[in-house]
Amino acid sequence: MRLLTLLLVLFLCTCVRAQEISRVEPPDWWVGFEQTELQLLVYGKDIGHLRAEINHPGVTLLRTVCPPNANYLFLYLNVAADASPGTFPIVFRDQDREVLRHSYTLQARRDGAAGVQGFNNSDVLYLITPDRFANGDPENDAVASLIEMPKRNFPGGRHGGDIAGMQQRLDYLTDLGITAIWINPVLENDMDQYSYHGYSTTDFYRVDPRFGSNAAYRDFCAAAGAKDVKVIMDMILNHSGSNHWFVVDPPSEDWVNYGGKYVNTNHRRTTVQDVHASEFDRRAFSDGWFVRTMPDLNQRNRLLADYLIQNSIWWIEYAGLAGIRMDTYPYPDKDFMAEWTCAVLREYPNFSIVGEEWSTQPAIVSYWQAGKDNHDGYTSCLPSLMDFPLQDALKLALTEKETWSTGWIKLYETLALDFLYADHDALVVFPDNHDMDRIYTQLGEDPALFRLAMAYTLTTRGTPQLYYGTEILMENSAAPGDHGIIRTDFPGGWAGDKVNGFTGAGLSAEQRAAKDYLRSLLRWRKSAKVIHDGKLMQFAPNNGSYVYFRYTDDEKVMVVLNKGTEGLSLDLSIYEEILPAGATLRDVLTGKEYSTESKTLPLQVNTAYILRVE
């Protein structure tokens, strides 16, 4: 009998040891959100039959959801407004016997956390691919627990740039005139190859150790904030990496679209708005996978939807973010995206969210913006979108020959479609980004056209975004379209670099001139309220020049972009409705004055003029 009892005890102990909690996500939470319901994803071997108990002031266990996979439990808690911050146990019982417990922490929110201010038109965003900007900590280049090792000589490999490198260059960015940083994804990408870009997430709550740590990312955001620089986090709700633990062992068959089987998206973004579209094409777009290694998540699954919404809120609160750039905004379930955006802004009313809808048609882009009266009744909360139509028009305007239907007219007519947007001033304008050829390459490496592009980007309506290295004419002409080359290392970010874009050592004369021009323009723009808040009036292109005004009740700036022949004189009588008689025009960068008495303005070819009207 004693032997039988001993064997029974050993059996029970073995069962208890076999059950363990591997993850609870979110790992902690805060008291004081508008949404008081909190989902906890609990993951562990064979825990699905366990019963959870919580005893903490202000916290109530509302319900437990047991998905088909017995390795999961989803606990829904109510965290009352008067709940006590602190750590408490979550007890798990097998019938009446306690078999596991997990300590969970509720924190008090920072003062003013809900009132965080996003970016606006006074800001300039600087886009950084962290693996390629600066290597501040070579010790984290290789992490033994992760698959891919560093290989700097391979354009598609990991090169070692990290959070420490970005933090060490904050003074460089502020000196340049940058006020906000959009960073390509920093979360763990434990993939076999091409993991540097960050768009194959394998842990939604962990910064990739090759970039640093969660604490390092939070410290970076705080250090940037101390210099009045906002941080925008790049997020992906459409897909994860194929090595993500909840893709390898999903809670249910419908966690990933097409039952976890690879079916590529058709990329037909117009199917969302097309009144004639087939359901087959619509589903192929929204449910299809980007690539085999990026499983398409099913946001129609309520458990997953709650998980993703909470993850975004957790990062905003944890890191003190000012904004989110949402990757592939139209690809997930569109009703979920409206729910997600509204949920985030309910907690942070002044927060910024900009969505990526890579279409050159304003009618397609505008569909997703908050306030748009759509033909199908779709209602969005999304404040801002990337202005891909204007980017495409800028490239064409600067590279096409000037005719009735080509050249500057592409910009003029694209801007004339601003009536399609609920708020065109909220759009983010840009000359290039991490997914396309660099603007200097797009413009045939012409420094004069480059200056015209920068002048337009920084004086038109909206919030401008520049890509790292634009200021020193980084290009990819040797390999157009190659993302590894487009995302080349910023020179000077690695020990031993012969050229240093940060200090200027080794830059060519053209690179130094471009950097000086852009720095001067950025510094002027930083205090140019007429650009931040002013209206825009444009005039039809004429003789190779394009003219528009930014104006308020108190101030006017005239922008003249000229591609015309040398020695062209601009007829100022065209602009009499906004240009006062006898006004003086002062160049904001050089201080040079131009009189309007002669009713003409002499122009040099391929030159931008930004003129304060006095």
Of 347, 356, 418, 432, which one is the catalytic site residue?
356
What confidence tens digit (pLDDT) does each residue in 89-132 have? 999 999 999 999 999 999 999 999 999 999 999 999 999 999 99
* Residue 257 token pair: 């679209």
* Among candidate residues 324, 378, 387, 393, the one with its CA nearest the CA of residue 357: 387
Q: From the CB of residue 403, how many other CB atoms can be counted at a distance below 10 Å?
A: 8
Q: Is the pLDDT of residue 15 over 90?
A: no
What confidence tier does 234 reach under pLDDT thresholds 50, 70, 90?
very high
Active-site residue, 327 included: yes
Please tell me the CATH code under which domain 535-613 is placed. Answer: 2.60.40.1180
Q: From the CB of residue 136, how many other CB atoms can be counted at a distance below 10 Å?
A: 19
* Residue 509 token pair: 């004369």
Give the integer Cα–Cα distance in Å for 534 and 555.
8
Q: Is the pLDDT of residue 13 over 50?
A: no
Can you give the pLDDT at residue 565? Answer: 76
Can you give the pLDDT at residue 566? Answer: 76
R_g of the chain computed on alpha carbons = 27
Question: Which stretch of DSSP H or E encloses residue 338?
Answer: helix 334-347
CA dihedral over 216, 217, 222, 228, signed as positive or negative: positive
Domains 18-109 and 535-613 fall in the same CATH topology: yes
Of 131, 137, 317, 327, which one is the catalytic site residue?
327
Domain range list for the chain: 18-109, 115-237+300-531, 535-613
Residue with tokens 């906000």: 180
Give the integer Cα–Cα distance in Å for 141 and 143.
7
Q: What CATH topology corresponds to 115-237+300-531?
A: TIM Barrel (3.20.20)
Active-site residue, 111 included: no
CA angle at residue 20 from 16 to 24, to 5 degrees?
A: 150
Q: Is the pLDDT of residue 11 over 50?
A: no
Q: What CATH topology corresponds to 18-109?
A: Immunoglobulin-like (2.60.40)
The answer, as to whether pTM is greater than 0.85, is yes
**DSSP-H helix ranges across 129-188:** 163-168, 170-176
Strands, sheet with 593-595, edge to edge from the N-terminal-most edge strand: 535-542, 545-551, 556-562, 607-613, 584-587, 593-595
What confidence tens digit (pLDDT) does each residue in 240-256 have? 999 999 999 999 999 99
**DSSP-H helix ranges across 190-301:** 214-226, 245-248, 279-287
What confidence tens digit (pLDDT) does each residue in 469-516 have? 999 999 999 999 999 999 999 999 999 999 999 999 999 999 999 999
